[in-house]
Amino acid sequence: MGRRVGIALAIAGCSALAACNEGAKTPTGQVVATVGNQEITMRDLRAEMGNYSAPDAKTLKAAQSEALRNIVGRDILADEARKEKLDKTPDFAIAKQRAIDSLLAQTLEQHVASQVPHATNEDAQSFIDAHPDIFAQRKVFILDQLQMPRPSDPTLIKSLEPLKTFDQIQALLTDRKIPFKRVDTTLDAVGADPRLVAAVVKLPPGELFVLPSSQIITVNLVKDTKIVPFTGDKAVAYAQQYVTRQRTQEAVQRRIQQLFASEEKNVKFSKDFAPATKPGAPAQPAGQAAPAAASPPAGATASGGQ
């Protein structure tokens, strides 16, 4: 919970929080502080701290104090912005509406997610039985990996597809002046997307495969595979969490698709901004990470389903 510089400066003149409100009535009950007429409650403090969990009472108290300083500082700065009528500017109005709409969309997704029942032990066991490469025959792949920054040129992945060896790929990257490095690493089936695990297991020996991410692209070769069984209570708990998370993402996505389908008739575009295809729901719910899946690179056919 890092202290924001602007907020720290806003309260730098106070030797303690109480000094900022000297002479005012001491807050009691659920009110933990006041800034002028603005009350800061325990609910505000809990929201500021989010999911923070302290190992002991002393650490919790310090974290609460830090969070409260953040709220006080933010309120001081916000009050000054209002006095300067910065909340009346057109840019602020746009930013405010975007923030409200984003928060409402996120809150709707959280509401849908909260209604999804947690996976049972039976659900977990079915998932375990269907994915032996993650559990009873858990795979830990030893990889020879070539890493490169994600390029701005979208044709690079396409250029990699016909290549069969690291030497060919390195020659291409060198020719395009794209930096890269070669490392040894591992890919554990536990924690990986089951579709990716299934795809890698099916690859012929010596077949390269690409894993793109937001920051880097990796080209991989499986040098060896170790079997490290993942069983017992920890495996069941892992399976329950995975199935619950998967069902939650599916439920949220279903709701979004339903809303887009029902409201599509109410969406109108000007002639100059009409999309080539009709608008649809986002590919992934806000705040949800897209599952990793293998891309068919360097001649690989790394694709598969659960």
pLDDT along the chain (306 residues), means of 10: 46 47 71 91 93 90 94 95 96 96 96 96 97 98 95 82 92 93 96 95 93 88 97 97 96 95 91 77 47 38 34
- Beta-carbon contacts of residue 254 (< 8 Å; ≥ 6 apart): none
The C-alpha angle with vertex 179 and arms to 174 and 182, in degrees rounded to 5, equals 95
The pLDDT value recorded for residue 281 is 57
pTM score of the predicted model? 0.69
Sheet holding 208-212, edge to edge: 181-188, 139-149, 216-227, 208-212
Q: For residues 131 and 227, is the Cβ–Cβ distance under 8 A? A: no
Beta bridge partners of 218: 147, 211
The pLDDT value recorded for residue 13 is 44
The pLDDT value recorded for residue 285 is 44
Q: Which amino acid is at 240?
A: Q
The pLDDT value recorded for residue 148 is 93
**Residue carrying structure tokens 């991410």:** 213
The pLDDT value recorded for residue 92 is 96
Between CA 218 and CA 184 the distance in angstroms is: 12
The pLDDT value recorded for residue 29 is 83
Q: What ranges do the domains of the chain cover? A: 5-95, 107-262+283-306
The pLDDT value recorded for residue 160 is 85
Between the two ends of the chain, the Cα-to-Cα distance in Å is: 39
Q: For residues 202 and 300, is the Cβ–Cβ distance under 8 A? A: no
